[in-house]
Homo-oligomer: A and B are copies of this chain.
Amino acid sequence: MTHATTTTAAPAADSVPFERWLASRGQRTEHALERVLPPAATHPARLHEAMRYAVLGGGKRVRPLLVHAAGEAGGAPASALDCAACAVELVHAYSLVHDDLPCMDDDVLRRGRPTVHVRYGEALAMLVGDALQALAFEVLAASSAHGASAAATTAMVAELARTAGSVGMVGGQAIDLASVGAALGREALEDMHRRKTGALLRASVRLGALCAPDAGAAAEARVHRLQALDRYADAVGLAFQVVDDILDVEGDAATLGKTAGKDAQSNKPTYVSALGLDAARRLAGQLREQAHEAIAPLGEAAHSLAGLADLIVLRKS
């Protein structure tokens, strides 16, 4: 149990099967990422080596896991989910490389290793991010050759692009950039995080759902399922950020694999600075409950989604 936990929701009773699911899908994701990234010797080799360094550096793979969990809840084919899972992780990885650059957060440590620009230089780090974003869409387009319909693939590309873009993730970064030193209210803070982090987590859930075949479910049932998943994704997305802010205060660099206390140092508004530590912890617990409630109607098929909500709130790094 970490400091971020609360007593408001009990851990899942059957945590062993979930742990097994987690290990299996985590491994599957590593293999899929390894496969979709060009080999390090591909010309130009330094770029491809740096791209692999950026992605295969041992992230938590929360977004790919959400893709798989949401997709499996709807009976989606596993190899289409691999494509979507890689795509969201590649977008996430690109955003980290660009965020760490000197002109942004100027971070030197990520996942316990030197950041890409420290290791490969600023210019190549920018190109790594640019290439990873392109690769995300290339891999996602391949879903239609792996069991997703062409229409679903097109819908996924539109969803991921909107999520990654100026009203989504990049928009959140721009708001973040403008907010340094400013006192953001709770609403503005939530808006920023919903774009910056929440949007891609939500898109992960939606992409998984879009991989699921349309046949076999009435239109109304599908809409209800998607709405339940959206409510789940909203709660989990917000919880993720709240816990991040808590860990930034409580954690140490060795556990986090990145510089701790960075937000406070750089005078960035966080949930902890806005609400205080105790209220932030309570909020994380409430959001975990909301996530569980949202997917309750989906029954046993949403088991892994429930486990992921716990994982996100209870994580130590």
Q: How far is the CA of A154 from the CA of B162 in the complex (A)?
A: 16
**Chain B binder among A132-140, A245-253, A262-270:** A132-140
Interface size on A, residues (CB 8 A): 54
Q: How far is the CA of A51 from the CA of B174 in the complex (A)?
A: 12
Task: Name the prevailing secondary structure of the A interface residues.
Answer: helix
Does A104 count as interface, using CB distance less than 8 angstroms?
Answer: yes
Does A189 count as interface, using CB distance less than 8 angstroms?
Answer: no
Q: How far is the CA of A161 from the CA of B42 in the complex (A)?
A: 17
Q: How far is the CA of A130 from the CA of B142 in the complex (A)?
A: 22
Please name all residues of chain B whose beta carbon is closer than 8 Å to the beta carbon of A46 when the two chains form the complex.
174, 178
A130 touches B127 (CB 8 A): no
A137 touches B137 (CB 8 A): yes
A178 touches B138 (CB 8 A): no
Does A214 count as interface, using CB distance less than 8 angstroms?
Answer: no
Does A77 count as interface, using CB distance less than 8 angstroms?
Answer: no
Does A43 count as interface, using CB distance less than 8 angstroms?
Answer: yes
Please name all residues of chain B whose beta carbon is closer than 8 Å to the beta carbon of A123 when the two chains form the complex.
103-104, 177
What string of 1s and 0s marks CB contacts (under 8 Å) between A38-56 and chain B? 1000111011100100000
- Chain A contacts to B: CB under 8 angstroms: 38, 42-44, 46-48, 51, 94, 98, 101, 103-104, 122-124, 126-127, 129-131, 133-138, 140-142, 144, 149-151, 153-155, 157-158, 160-162, 164-168, 170-171, 173-175, 177-178
